Amino acid sequence: MPTAPKDVSDSERVQQPGQFNSFCPALLKPGSKMQRPEYLLCSVNFTAESKKRDASHLGGESDDSDSMAGVHKVAKMHPFFTKPGASSSAASSFQWLKPSLGPKRTCLHGINLMPQSTPKVAAFDLDGTVIKSNHKSRSNETALHWEWWRATVPAKLQELHQEGYSIVLISNQALKQRQLEDWKKKIPLISAALPSVPFRIFAASAKDGFRKPMPGMWDELERIFAVDKIRIDKDASFFVGDAAGRTGDFASTDRKWAVNIGIPFYTPEEYFLRLPSAPFSFPGFHVSSLPKLPLLDPLTATIIPNVTGTELVIFTGFPCLGKSSFFRRHFAPVGYAHINQDTLGSRPKCIKATEAALKAGNSCVVDNTNRDGATRKHYLDLAKKLGIPVRCLVFTGSIDLAWHNNLYRAYVHPSTESRRDILPYLAFIGFRDNYEEPQLTEGFSEIIKVNWVFEGSEEERKRWGMWLQIDGK
């Protein structure tokens, strides 16, 4: 079996126009190495022929095993992936591209042959869909072993390619580094069994915005296709995966991913075997479960009081419930000072800044989580000393909603410039476990509840409304 290729950069590849390079196993003598003369490359010129299907893309079993022995003409690599002076790797038709994608390079990206960008995308999960799952492997030898999920899978992929689909593999692989390196070596072995099927693979190696059902891998696919001026036809595309929320499934993340993207979804049994669909459910939090509530409770409450004079307003609530946005929308335009520990760095600095603002006659808002009475008391005592009234705005919302918003603003917000660093889940647990609901007896003149009401553009609402999770089912 040929050795898996090393990772190569964009500048290390070249393709002769009108030729396809692939290794010929028949010419590889037992025990030979890739650098020896016995390991040859076949350089083939040919004309591709299209093959129409007699039914829809939902495929039954096929006896066309000969189709996997052919070769297919590959177009010249798009300039997006090439650089002057590139050279070719002789080890395999598959290449892991460098650098990996994303701000932290956590999305692996590889190509087999020279996949073309087309409006129709046939996307597949890998383990449990294209090949049999092998998650419990520990040894390197076992990790490299693989089998097709069913014998008809390669012929079906060949058929899709001939019908003009871009074939894309979408996989979650949040593994330890050594396991990940072993897994990466498996993909060239799979590609060797698909010598005439160009495909692209994305693999999320961390629990971040690339991990299904988060849309990051699809976003990258659209970005790459846009370089070729190709807009994906979602109605004509589809995704096949085994994490479908059925009884016995380990998760529902594949089906959720398809829902997030807005493309049709099939299980491997439905797609490859033409079996009927099975009942399924989606566990976890979704924003559709939120009740429709008015912004303020009580309804008679006002955000900005009609009376003049200096006041102190204390916000409290989970992180990521819109406190800072609420300040910018309502308090900043009328001149309230903004006191925020993320900006100032410590509670003593916040208290000092609050005192300075109030003594200068400026109303101010303490925009922190202020989770318990002891924390709020620092500001209440200061206001009492200065004879200034204090109101409390309680931002309601569950830990599930707060975490959802955290994922949205860190990974999914349409504008990458508006994205923020992800907050650890421990911060949300800490607030939940130590929260003390504000009481008038603490010294507040008024307590107002601010319910979560999403505000944003249509595109922002669409992405906020996705299934967002980086762990769980």
The whole-angstrom separation of Cα 239 and Cα 256 is 11
Low-confidence stretches of the chain (pLDDT < 70) are: 1-91, 135-142
pTM of the predicted model over 0.95? no
What top-level class would CATH report for the domain 296-464?
A: alpha beta
pLDDT, residue 56, reads 42
| Dihedral of the alpha carbons of 13, 17, 19, 23, in degrees to the nearest 10 | 0
Residue-wise pLDDT tens digits, 62-88 = 333 333 332 333 344 443 333 332 333
* Angle formed at CA 70 by CA 69 and CA 71, multiple of 5 degrees: 130
pLDDT, residue 306, reads 87
pLDDT, residue 36, reads 31
pLDDT, residue 242, reads 98
Residue-wise pLDDT tens digits, 335-390 = 999 999 999 999 999 999 999 999 999 999 999 999 999 999 999 999 999 999 99
Out of 3.30.1360.200, 3.30.70.1450, 3.90.1150.10, 3.40.50.1000, which CATH number does the structure's domain 10-272 have? 3.40.50.1000
Every domain of the chain with CATH number 3.40.50.1000 lies at 10-272
